[in-house]
Amino acid sequence: MKAENQRNILALAIAQAILGSQMPMYIILGGLVGQSLASNVCYATLPISLLIVGSMVSSPILSNLMQSTTRRLGLVVGNLAGLIGSLTSLLGIFLGSFELFLLGSFVSGAYMASQAFYRFAATDDCEDRFKARAISTVLSGGLIAAILGPSIVKISLSLNTSVPFLYSYLGVVILNCLGPFILSYIKPIPLSKSFEGNINDNSNRTNLNRPLVTILKSPVIVVSIICSMIAYGVMNLIMTSSPIAIVGCGFGNNQAANVVSAHALAMFAPSFVTGKLIEKYGEKSIIFTGMLLFLFAVLIAYSGVDISNFYISLIFIGIGWNFSFIGSTSLLTKNHYPSERGKVQGINDFFVFGFVALFSVTSGWLMNCSANSSQLGWEVVNLTATPLVIFALISLMGLWIANHYKLRKI
């Protein structure tokens, strides 16, 4: 692996650690702030939903900007949008305006989209055999984010203020201010001049730029997108509802923050080994394992609402997401040409965040309005996730069978 690429990966990992600490803060606070400002509790998770809708809308825009200019410029633009969004959310909290808070959440979605591209940026100047490890290394920065974000929330909530959650969102603003300084250490590699790895090492076709319709006819591309969608969607569906469920089942805000922190740690701690596991066993096996962990987590959540159930379920959801999401991302990057990065990665994250947005909206309704108690609402949330995970497992098995049949024919 090139020294310059190692520097980029380190800078991206630091950005994931510092700037990425906003994500657990949004998850812990979004539903609670929404619940305090909204006139109807069914809309409590709408701020998180709009954050993800903003990500969905901005993903193709940022991806095309990076393709035509450099990764660094696109990442900085996303970071500055996050700064504007967090300032708007802070003003909404100060004024008690749910509408203004929602607008800030939507604009902040561009930050979330740009952060999602950290994992792709790590592979730009990287050979295929190192891609999974590069993705894992960057996402391992989330381990620090998983500690830093909830810690900022707990400290800010302990400070006296007449406006609840004000200091917490001030913390988000400060984190966004650090973004341009961190991202300036990333070498501005134009995607058109980055490592010319390609499908099946066919070096004569590195400049091939197929229509998107043709690309999406590839079973491997489709299955990798499906698994990314379901991994991120199921994780978000359960994680978004968990703080409301924990508080609703009689535990405090600090307990909710601790559970989300444990979940976030579980999301990123396996990154130290996930890349090596993918190198040894292959992407499809690791994705399959991640989906099985999702099923186990749902079973634990459905079996009770003791605080231990919340901890165990959310921890296994985190590990399942890590395996499934890193595996799907690595599989995607190995099955399109360098000249197609902008459109393929943009459409991948458009579908992923679109699916996540759908389930963010759904999670608030399922949690608060589908049943007459927090316990029943939590059960409904987890049961909703089950058929999605099973569909992902069936898709992977179909890909295995198709590959086996193709090899047999050869």
pLDDT in tens, 104-160: 999 999 999 999 899 888 888 777 778 888 888 998 898 898 889 888 988 998 887
Would the pLDDT of 198 be above 80? no
pLDDT value at residue 52:
84
Instruction: Residue 182: name the closest of 63, 80, 291, 310 by CA.
Output: 80
Give me the pLDDT at residue 407, please. Answer: 52
Residue 323 has pLDDT above 90, yes or no: yes
Could you report the per-residue pLDDT of 148-170, keeping only the tens digit for each?
Answer: 988 898 899 888 778 888 999 99
Domains of the chain (ranges plus CATH)? Answer: 3-187+210-409 (1.20.1250.20)
Find, among 1, 80, 98, the residue nearest to 41 by Cα: 98
Mean pLDDT of the chain: 85
List the structure tokens of 111.
């930050």
Give the rounded distance of the alpha carbon of 190 from its chain centre: 24
Largest CA distance in the chain: 71
What was the pLDDT predicted at 230?
Answer: 95
Of the two residues 98 and 239, the one the predictor is more confident about is 98
Task: Provide long-range contacts, Cβ within 8 A and 24+ apart, for 171-177.
Answer: 171/25, 172/22, 172/25, 172/26, 172/86, 172/89, 172/90, 173/83, 173/86, 173/87, 173/90, 175/18, 175/19, 175/21, 175/22, 176/19, 176/22, 176/79, 176/80, 176/82, 176/83, 176/86, 176/111, 177/83
| Cβ neighbourhood burial of 370 (10 Å; 0-12, 13-18, 19+) | middle
Q: What is the mean pLDDT of residues 184-196?
A: 66
264-272: average pLDDT? 87
In this prediction, residue 201 has a pLDDT band, given cuts at 50, 70 and 90, of very low
Closest CA to 48 of 83, 89, 19: 89
Would you give the distance in Å from CA 161 to the centre of its chain? 31
- Single pTM value for the model: 0.77
In the block, tokens 């996730």 appear at 385
Least confident interval from 33-37, 384-388, 389-393: 33-37
Percentage of the residues of the chain whose pLDDT score is greater than 70: 92
Give per-residue pLDDT as tens, 232-250: 999 988 887 888 888 888 8
Tell me how far apart the alpha carbons of residues 272 and 137 are, in angstroms, rounded to a whole number.
7
